[in-house]
């Protein structure tokens, strides 16, 4: 059986840390359709977590489109994160930040199909 260093085990069992952020004008723009979201991350430093929360809130504040992207690698760990994708498809040539909604890994071939939200 694998063992875990006691300090790391205590960290994993500890309470989650939450930070909040607001994007100016988002409530005015979306009205009663505005959303409040919560994302947990492994970021330990509060400043890092605050920076990620702000980044994700700004990403989600604008109009978004759903897309699917075939990529190399088994990438189920990307669900719930924002990643930059490059490709030869329209809108990805210079890289585009996308929010990963889901991942379907191929049984063979080492590829994943990402379902993402992309800013318009």
Task: Please say if the pLDDT value at position 41 is more than 70.
Answer: no
Pick the closest to residue 69 from 61, 78, 56, 57 (CA basis): 78
Q: Provide the Cα torsion 91, 22, 83, 110; round to 10°.
A: -110
Structure confidence by residue, pLDDT tens digits, 43-85: 777 788 788 778 777 777 777 899 999 989 999 889 988 899 9
Q: What is the pLDDT of residue 39?
A: 66
Q: State pTM to two decimals.
A: 0.58
Mean pLDDT for all residues in the chain: 81
Mean pLDDT for the stretch of residues 105-120: 88
Q: In sequence order, what are the residues at sequence separation of 6 or more whose Cβ sits closer than 8 angstroms to the Cβ of residue 48? A: none
Q: Is the dihedral of CA 57, 58, 61, 64 positive or negative?
A: negative
């Amino acid at each position: 059986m694998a063992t875990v260093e006691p300090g790391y085990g205590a960290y994993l069992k500890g309470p989650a840390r939450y930070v909040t952020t607001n994007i100016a004008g988002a409530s005015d723009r979306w009205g009663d359709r505005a959303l409040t979201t919560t994302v947990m991350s492994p970021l330990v430093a509060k400043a890092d977590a605050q920076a990620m929360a702000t980044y994700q809130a700004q990403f989600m504040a604008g109009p978004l489109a759903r897309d699917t992207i075939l990529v190399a690698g088994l990438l189920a760990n990307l669900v719930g994160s924002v990643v930059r994708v490059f490709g030869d498809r329209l809108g990805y040539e210079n890289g585009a930040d996308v929010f990963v909604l889901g991942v379907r890994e191929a049984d063979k071939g080492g590829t994943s199909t990402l379902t993402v939200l992309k800013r318009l």
